[in-house]
Structure 1
Amino acid sequence: MNNLLKSTFKPFKAITSTYKKTSTWGKVLFFVILIMIACSMFNKKKEGFEQTKNFMFKSGTDIYDDFYSDIYDFLVFSDVKDDYEVGEIINSTKPTQESIILDIGSGTGHHVGLLNKKGYKTVGLDKSQSMIKKAKENYPEYDFVQGDAMNAMQFQPNSFTHITCLYFTIYYIKDKTLFFNNCMKWLMPGGSLVVHIVDRDMFDPILPPANPLVMLTPQRYAKQRITNSTITFDDFKYNANFDLNPDKNSATFVEKFQNKNDGKTFRKQEHNMYMETEPDILSMAKTAGFIIKGKIDLIKSGYEYQYLYLFQKPA
């Protein structure tokens, strides 16, 4: 034990001896160096604390804040898809100048904008205040409402001739039976409901800017399903991964945002999706009283194994 103490304190004795022999300026320099070392250690600890404090994890509707609404279009927007969808909806459901259309999950407002520009009165509904704000920035002349399609009192009965629910919105709805019942209530007799539904096992989960093959899915050339998207922004790197759990009829879509400089993740968000099979969703619609009128394949717009299902409320 004595030997251990001697070996431990020996370096300190050497430093003390050297310190006593140095000049006054040497002693000042010694203290300056000690202070700099202490400050450096403090700053490192402080920096680590700030990195942890600034890290964000978001899920549910909290995901759709100002930050995400500002980059949302870059991640998912496709004018080719939107134009094709709107054209097919018009051709298949035959709206008129007297039609009133509700777009559930209107996001940044592009479907609402396209339909209104073609002369069909359309209102957007979204749960996120930030997305509503962005939609109004994009289309200040059109109507957007912050609200919840799960609230049966959101609109009066028989308010709309058409309702649309596009781009995976249906999969963020846990109680789809309630969704279909509310749509049945809000539609006028003979009204149309258009819902985006996918083949959950086959559709391509890669985001458009991460797909190197324009208008083609790389899934055709991959041995295993590709579920990861990597995108580089000016200030950060983005990575997302889709994970399907067919046994639980659920999926997660996890997004990570990393600083370019140090590679540290400053934001992570998890989308929880309720992904029943096509037949199960169609069964829910029929139970609510809807008639299945048709199915539009979105492959012509580059979205394979994705469809617009056309439902009608009995006249």
Structure 2
Amino acid sequence: MKQFFNPITNFYHKLSFWAKILILIVILLIVVVTFKKNDKKQEGYQQNDVFEFKSGTDIYDDFYSSIYDQLVFSNIKDNYEIGKIIEKTQPTSESIILDVGCGTGHHVAALEAQHIPAVGIDISSSMIKQAKEYYPDYNFVQGDVLKAMQFRANSFTHILCMYFTLYYFPDKLTFFKNCMYWLKSGGALVIHVVDRDMFDPVIPPANPLLLLSGQRYADKRITESKVTFDDFIYKSNFDLPEGSDTAKFIEKFTNRKTGKPFRRNEHVLYMESEDRILTLAREVGFIMQGEIDMIKSGYEYQKLFILVKPS
């Protein structure tokens, strides 16, 4: 053993002072990276040891916020939405846009990249934490948009309510009233609305056709998703009973290594018809200005409606 180490020792002693320092730094980095990898693995297994059932706002905890983008993020969709919203509503550097249900903050970042001031709000503190980690220079707040005192009157030129956020509100009338209160005169509210019977509920990573919906080629509507990630297997199913306005989106997570289920999420979506949603908006005084069809971004039977507060 001594004979093995002697050449290494002699080589090390012949090195310059700075070369020795560099070698020590490299060794230290290797140790730190190895430790972090092992620590992350242990954390993941600990999280999967106990089965968890989550519903309502409890779904959006640290675990779900950390994997959220893997499940639903689409750069193509986001860029298309923001591009069309800017084209149709003409915000400027003097505008101030509120993004309701901002999630991990990508819409806010896309607006700020165009020098349009934006604020993101989400009821989940974990989502806000994730958004701030991604975009520390932008403005995100944790709060409840069903409370009128969340913001002052006439605070925003635009309010966005994107990607199914509207369907988490059982009381949409209150939401529309609050938006009317927070918007400046002539301000725009943009809401994401789907054809509940026709839209594709398969999550992006489970759709191999990318910009084409697999629903077009299926005899029966596909409602299930299955995706295998590095550490877990994900399954989901969308269920809207015939004649009902209430849908459930069930997500199941299974530890890939052990094969044991470790989590189930139950999302409840309040999916009134498109006509009913727009009627509620008109009841509080909004005027329809236009609509944006999402089909060009690969999201068929989905639209953004632009509603305006009268001047």
TM-score range for the pair, normalised by the shorter chain length: 0.7 to 0.9
Question: Structure 1, residues 157-201: CA drift from partner, whole Å, max 9, x if none?
Answer: 000000000000000011000000000000000000000000000
State the secondary structure of the residue aligned to 2:253. strand
1:84 aligns with 2:80: yes
Work out which of the residue numbers 189, 199, 204 in structure 2 matches 1:203.
199
Work out which of the residue numbers 190, 212, 237 in structure 2 matches 1:216.
212
Provide the C-alpha distance between the structure 1 equivalents of 2:125 and 2:111, rounded to a whole number of angstroms: 22
Provide the C-alpha distance between the structure 2 equivalents of 1:86 and 1:186, rounded to a whole number of angstroms: 21
Work out which of the residue numbers 181, 198, 203 in structure 1 matches 2:177.
181
Computing the radius of gyration from Cα coordinates, the structure with the larger value is 1
Provide the C-alpha distance between the structure 1 equivalents of 2:258 and 2:64, rounded to a whole number of angstroms: 21
What's 1:145 paired with? Answer: 141
State the secondary structure of the residue aligned to 2:150. coil
Provide the C-alpha distance between the structure 2 equivalents of 1:246 and 1:115, rounded to a whole number of angstroms: 39
What's 2:278 paired with? Answer: 282
What's 1:127 paired with? Answer: 123
- Tell me, which stretches of 5 or more residues in structure 1 are unaligned? 1-49
Letter in 2 for 1:56: E
Q: 2:48, 2:255 within 8 Å by CA — same for their partners in 1?
A: no
What's 2:30 paired with? Answer: none
Provide the C-alpha distance between the structure 1 equivalents of 2:242 and 2:155, rounded to a whole number of angstroms: 36
What's 1:38 paired with? Answer: none
1:97-136 equivalences in 2 (<5 Å): 97-136=93-132
Provide the C-alpha distance between the structure 2 equivalents of 1:60 and 1:225, rounded to a whole number of angstroms: 26
Deviation at 1:260, TM superposition (A): 1.6
What's 2:309 paired with? Answer: 313
Stretch of structure 1 that moved more, 125-134 or 242-251: 242-251
What's 2:165 paired with? Answer: 169
Letter in 2 for 1:225: R
Provide the C-alpha distance between the structure 2 equivalents of 1:115 and 1:301, rounded to a whole number of angstroms: 18
Deviation at 1:221, TM superposition (A): 0.4
Provide the C-alpha distance between the structure 2 equivalents of 1:51 and 1:186, rounded to a whole number of angstroms: 40
Work out which of the residue numbers 34, 45, 60 in structure 2 matches 1:64.
60
1:257 aligns with 2:253: yes
Provide the C-alpha distance between the structure 2 equivalents of 1:128 and 1:288, rounded to a whole number of angstroms: 27
Provide the C-alpha distance between the structure 2 equivalents of 1:137 and 1:259, rounded to a whole number of angstroms: 26
Provide the C-alpha distance between the structure 1 equivalents of 2:241 and 2:289, rounded to a whole number of angstroms: 30
Distance of aligned partners of 1:192 and 1:133 in 2 relative to their CA distance in 1, 3 Å threshold = same
Provide the C-alpha distance between the structure 2 equivalents of 1:113 and 1:72, rounded to a whole number of angstroms: 17
Deviation at 1:53, TM superposition (A): 7.6
Letter in 2 for 1:110: H
What's 1:248 paired with? Answer: 244
TM-score normalized by structure 2?
0.84
Provide the C-alpha distance between the structure 1 equivalents of 2:271 and 2:85, rounded to a whole number of angstroms: 23
Deviation at 1:51, TM superposition (A): 11
Identity %: 62
Provide the C-alpha distance between the structure 2 equivalents of 1:95 and 1:225, rounded to a whole number of angstroms: 38
Deviation at 1:310, TM superposition (A): 0.3
Question: Structure 1, residues 104-123: CA drift from partner, whole Å, max 9, x if none?
Answer: 00000000000011011000
Provide the C-alpha distance between the structure 1 equivalents of 2:293 and 2:102, rounded to a whole number of angstroms: 21
Deviation at 1:263, TM superposition (A): 2.1
Deviation at 1:301, TM superposition (A): 0.4
Deviation at 1:214, TM superposition (A): 1.4
TM-score normalized by structure 1?
0.83
Runs of 4+, deviation exceeding 2 Å: 50-53, 245-248
The number of aligned residues is 266
Stretch of structure 1 that moved more, 202-211 or 247-256: 247-256
Deviation at 1:246, TM superposition (A): 4.3
Question: Structure 1, residues 268-304: CA drift from partner, whole Å, max 9, x if none?
Answer: 0100000000000000000010001111000000000
Provide the C-alpha distance between the structure 1 equivalents of 2:159 and 2:217, rounded to a whole number of angstroms: 37
Deviation at 1:235, TM superposition (A): 1.3
